[in-house]
């Protein structure tokens, strides 16, 4: 069926511009190729309308994405919940001496090395002796000259003295000889002192061990130039051992001399007691504690690293232990903040705290109460007022 017949039956089948165009074509006898082009345009227009209509359709919204961070919650506990504290220490001899040359010079010989055993009066090291030998020779030569001069004046003085008594020699010249004799005597004494000093310098050019023990440290090497007093060896004496332990000042205040300490290393344990507590604090508020090892058959050696477990007699019940992972430090030492969790709202609040290091993975603070719920990890990624999803909290 021809297109003009379809239009005659119902012109609504095409847009008005097509029917008008068709009438023109029917009158002018248009070709069928042009009719095909018109149909293609009609189909394209319909597709365009469908595409535009789809743009106004509302897309289905997917499920909402939660922005709440999942965090680990812990309950802070009183410091009194821990009956003991452990810290790392180093074993050393209770008797330790530091040895040095009293004279400057280059080291010629070192007879012992680290860990070697030494005996009392054993020579450990020697400086180059040539300069000291030359000094002694010069001192002895000076002494010989001074002695010869003195002896000559002494004989002259004795002869003049007899002549003065007989009245054959001027008294003024005799007095001059007497003065020269006294000066020569002083020169002899000075030269003698110089000889003694040179011999002493030779003795001080050697290091002699004053005790029996083992070499804990060797600070220099042969050929090295050393100054007087510069430590060359550290010797740990045979006998009693002690452990040097660094603890927080807050813990040291709860310790007393004689307090029991258990020392452990590589599965071996020994008993000890607090021997001394330093009065001065080191950097970071730390205090050095010396623990005497009282176990006579201890297998520890000087230099061994041990774990010292202190039994605490009394604690400040107002302090609580704070996990180190929960602490967000500030620019001020021992100052920072934590995030306190509210279980009713699941919100967190940033709270400033002051802390004291304990030497383990915990801190002590008076800024929180026992039982407070805090975020115990990942605090660097949180902000004040965040809405979080808590994991089941634990008691530290």
- In sequence order, what DSSP letters do the residues of 250-317 get, joined into one string? HHHTT--TT-EEEEEETTEEEEEEEEEE-SS-BTTTEEEEEEEE--TT----TT-EEEEEEEPS---T
Q: Are strands 388-390 and 69-71 parallel, antiparallel or unpaired?
A: parallel
Confidence of residue 105 (pLDDT cuts 50, 70, 90): very high
Specify the CATH number of the domain 84-94+239-311.
2.40.30.170
- For residue range 313-362, list pLDDT tens digits in order: 544 557 787 888 888 899 988 899 999 999 889 899 999 999 888 755 77
Closest CA relative to residue 309, chosen from 242, 260, 268: 260
Domain residue ranges in the chain: 3-55, 71-79+317-395, 84-94+239-311
Specify the CATH number of the domain 71-79+317-395.
2.40.420.20
Determine the pLDDT at residue 54: 58
Copy the structure tokens of residue 315. 């604690």
How confident is the model over 238-264, as a mean pLDDT?
85
Confidence of residue 239 (pLDDT cuts 50, 70, 90): confident
- H-state helical runs in 29-111: 32-55
Q: Does pLDDT of 79 surpass 50?
A: yes
Domains 71-79+317-395 and 84-94+239-311 share a fold: no
From residue 385, alpha-carbon distances to 160, 265, 340 in Å are 112, 47, 10
Determine the pLDDT at residue 1: 47
- For residue range 14-49, list pLDDT tens digits in order: 455 545 555 554 544 455 555 666 676 666 666 666
CA–chain centroid gap for 236, Å, is 26
From residue 295, alpha-carbon distances to 91, 244, 262 in Å are 13, 16, 10
Round to whole Å and give the CA distance between 348 and 390: 10
């Amino acid at each position: 069926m021809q297109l003009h017949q379809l239009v005659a039956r119902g012109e609504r089948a095409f847009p008005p511009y097509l029917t008008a165009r068709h009438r023109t074509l029917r009158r002018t006898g248009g070709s069928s190729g042009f009719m095909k082009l018109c149909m293609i345009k009609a189909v394209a227009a319909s597709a365009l309308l469908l595409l535009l209509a789809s743009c106004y359709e509302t897309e289905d919204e997917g499920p909402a994405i939660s922005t709440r961070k999942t965090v680990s919650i812990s309950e802070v506990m009183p410091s009194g919940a821990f009956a003991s504290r452990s810290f790392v220490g180093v074993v050393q001899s209770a008797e330790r001496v530091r040895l040095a040359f009293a004279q400057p010079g280059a080291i010629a010989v070192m007879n012992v090395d680290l860990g070697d055993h030494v005996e009392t009066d054993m020579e450990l090291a020697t400086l180059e002796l040539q300069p000291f030998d030359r000094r002694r020779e010069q001192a002895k030569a000076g002494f010989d000259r001074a002695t010869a001069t003195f002896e000559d004046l002494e004989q002259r003085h004795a002869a003049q003295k007899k002549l003065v008594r007989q009245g054959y020699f001027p008294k003024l010249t005799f007095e001059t000889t007497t003065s020269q004799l006294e000066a020569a005597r002083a020169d002899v004494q000075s030269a003698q002192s110089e000889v003694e000093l040179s011999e002493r310098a030779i003795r001080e050019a050697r290091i002699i061990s004053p005790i029996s023990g083992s070499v804990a440290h060797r600070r220099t090497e042969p050929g090295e130039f050393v100054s007087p007093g510069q430590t060359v060896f550290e010797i740990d004496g045979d006998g009693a051992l002690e452990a040097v332990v660094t603890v927080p000042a807050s813990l040291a205040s709860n310790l007393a001399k004689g307090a029991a300490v258990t020392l452990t290393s590589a599965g071996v344990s020994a008993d000890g007691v607090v021997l001394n507590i330093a009065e001065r604090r080191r950097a970071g508020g730390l205090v050095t504690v010396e623990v005497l090892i009282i176990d006579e058959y201890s297998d520890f050696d000087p230099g061994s690293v041990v774990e010292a477990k202190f039994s605490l007699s009394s604690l400040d019940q107002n302090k609580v232990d704070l996990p180190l992972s929960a602490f967000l430090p500030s620019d001020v030492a021992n100052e920072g903040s934590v995030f306190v969790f509210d279980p009713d709202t699941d919100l967190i609040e940033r709270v400033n705290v002051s802390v004291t290091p304990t030497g383990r993975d915990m801190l002590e603070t008076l800024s929180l109460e026992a039982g407070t719920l805090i975020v115990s990890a990942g605090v660097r990624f949180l902000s004040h007022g965040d809405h979080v999803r808590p994991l089941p909290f634990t008691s530290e």
